[in-house]
């Protein structure tokens, strides 16, 4: 975790969600959060796209499947530097949906409309 840039920290936090590593998420945020990941255990994380990263902000889309439905979490995250370490502070969520003509987040190589959209 030492000396990670905001972009690297955001990627490592995504990996922590994939691994259900609540302790890492708690250590890398300015907030006092629970390490209990039971609310996320049924979520299958599919893909991460970093859209923009500059200074203390990172915009990304994290695709996931929950109860058979593929969705996207689109956020612009804000990071702060504390004691030489970047920490996640807050984020702005966007109301974004997986678009029909984009590549399916499941990794099939097909367009979403020809693949998993039929399960949504």
- CATH code at position 20: 3.10.450.50
pLDDT at 119: 57
Domain boundaries, position 29 = 6-119
What phi and psi, each to the nearest 5 degrees, are found at residue 10? Answer: -60, -45
The answer to whether residue 88 is domain-embedded is yes
Mean pLDDT of the chain: 92
**Please, are residues 24 and 13 in contact by the beta-carbon 8 Å criterion?**
yes
For residue 35, how far is the Cα from the chain centroid? 17
pLDDT for 18 equals 95
pLDDT score at 41 = 87
Which stretches of the chain score pLDDT less than 50?
none
Percentages helix, strand, coil for the chain (3-state, rounded to 5) are 25, 40, 35
Domain count, the chain: 1
Residues 6+ apart with CB under 8 A from 38: none
């Amino acid at each position: 975790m030492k000396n990670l840039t905001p972009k690297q920290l955001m990627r490592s936090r995504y990996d922590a969600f994939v691994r259900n590593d609540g302790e890492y998420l708690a250590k890398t945020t300015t907030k006092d959060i629970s390490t209990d990941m039971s609310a996320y255990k049924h979520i299958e994380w599919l893909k991460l796209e970093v859209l923009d990263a500059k200074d203390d902000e990172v915009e990304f889309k994290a695709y996931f499947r929950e109860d058979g439905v593929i969705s996207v979490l689109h956020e612009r995250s804000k990071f702060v530097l504390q004691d030489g370490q970047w920490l996640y502070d807050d984020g702005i969520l966007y109301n974004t949906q997986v678009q029909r003509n984009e590549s399916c987040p499941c990794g099939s190589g097909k367009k979403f409309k020809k693949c998993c959209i039929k399960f949504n």
